[in-house]
Amino acid sequence: MELKIIKGSVVYSDCDVIVNAANEMLLAGGGVCGAIFASAGHQELQRECKAIGSCRTGHAVMTNGYNLKAKKIIHAVGPTNQDSNLLKSAFLNALIIADSNEYNTIGMVPISAGIYGFPLDECASIAIEVISNFKAKHLKKCYMYCFLDNEYNIFLEEFNKINK
């Protein structure tokens, strides 16, 4: 699976599916989560999330994409602490859901590196490792969307380290 680091917002992605950095209660939050809910259609998306109920840290669930270009949203719950195993699990479970539903493209985000405070450089290392090692059957391309300049620079630096 090909990985590209993109400077921009995942809400404008035309990938088959995008990833939301979600909270366990699947409620609209701040940052990328809030932007996804606002762009998708807050009421419809929140209604579907409430029907699902919750999602444990390290796991992921999928909803419709509503008003987004993406068909679906995978809500991956990263850790609020610095548990790297739970972060790996969140990235991996998002990929498994997308691949098992036969999607070809996925738009990822730096899970837990925003308001949850996971160190950005470690998040980048974990994300790129998980994505690079994933044995996809259907996924062809993964785009890591970095909204902020420092996110983009750190992810690109880490990507270049691994892909020398």
Domain boundaries, the chain: 2-162
Give the pLDDT score at 1: 94
What is the three-class DSSP state of 39?
helix
Write out the H or E segment, with its range, that includes residue 32: helix 31-40
- Phi first, then psi: what are they for 91, rounded to 5°? -65, -45
pLDDT digits (tens, 9 = 90+) for 44-68: 999 999 999 999 999 999 999 999 9
Strand order in the sheet with 72-77: 2-7, 141-146, 105-108, 17-22, 72-77, 60-64
- Phi first, then psi: what are they for 132, rounded to 5°? -65, -35
Q: Which residues of the chain have pLDDT under 70?
A: 164
Return the sign of the alpha-carbon dihedral for residues 21, 26, 30, 33: positive
Distance CA 59, CA 92 (A): 9
Tell which CATH architecture fits domain 2-162: 3-Layer(aba) Sandwich (3.40)
- Give the C-alpha distances (Å, rounded to integers) separating 48 from 6, 62, 70, 110, 144: 29, 10, 16, 24, 25
Give the pLDDT score at 20: 98
Give the pLDDT score at 162: 82
Q: Are the CB atoms for 139 and 95 separated by under 8 Å?
A: yes
Q: What is the 3-state secondary structure (H, E, C) of 87-131?
A: HHHHHHHHHHHHHHCCCCEEEECCCCCCCCCCCHHHHHHHHHHHH
Give the pLDDT score at 69: 97
Give the pLDDT score at 12: 97
Give the pLDDT score at 18: 98
Give the pLDDT score at 163: 78
